[in-house]
């Protein structure tokens, strides 16, 4: 799901995504044999951008957060990636 709000030369954009995927892992325990596990894992991501677009220049900011979840037996794992950046440019 996404949307953009534009007021004059300013804008704000938001994106949200939900998903589901599969995971297969093979691991061993100390002194034991290899174990196999298959899981269904959820995925949740969102992104936001805001900026200004003028006649000669543009500037803005973006932020992205990815969340992934996993599990190995009783161990629950969450991976989070947060990324942010600023940008600017000139029209010529």
A 10 A CB-CB count for 69 gives 16
pTM check: above 0.75: no
Look at residue 33 in the predicted model and tell me its pLDDT.
80
Distances, alpha carbon 28 to alpha carbons 22, 34, 36, in Å: 20, 4, 9
**pLDDT tens for each residue of 38-80:** 888 888 899 999 999 999 999 999 999 988 887 777 778 888 8
**Cα–Cα distance for residue pair 61/32, rounded to 1 Å:** 50
Q: Are 14 and 46 in contact (CB under 8 A)?
A: yes
Domain ranges of the chain: 2-18+44-90
Residues 6+ apart with CB under 8 A from 32: none
């Amino acid at each position: 799901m996404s949307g953009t709000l534009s007021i004059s030369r300013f804008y704000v954009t938001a994106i949200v995504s939900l998903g589901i995927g599969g995971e297969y892992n093979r691991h061993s325990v100390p002194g034991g044999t290899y174990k196999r596990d298959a899981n269904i894992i959820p995925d949740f991501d969102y992104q936001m951008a805001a900026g200004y677009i003028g006649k000669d220049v543009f500037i803005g900011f973006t932020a992205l957060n990815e969340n992934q979840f996993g599990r190995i037996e009783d161990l629950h794992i969450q991976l989070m990636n947060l990324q942010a950046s600023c940008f600017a440019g000139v029209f010529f």
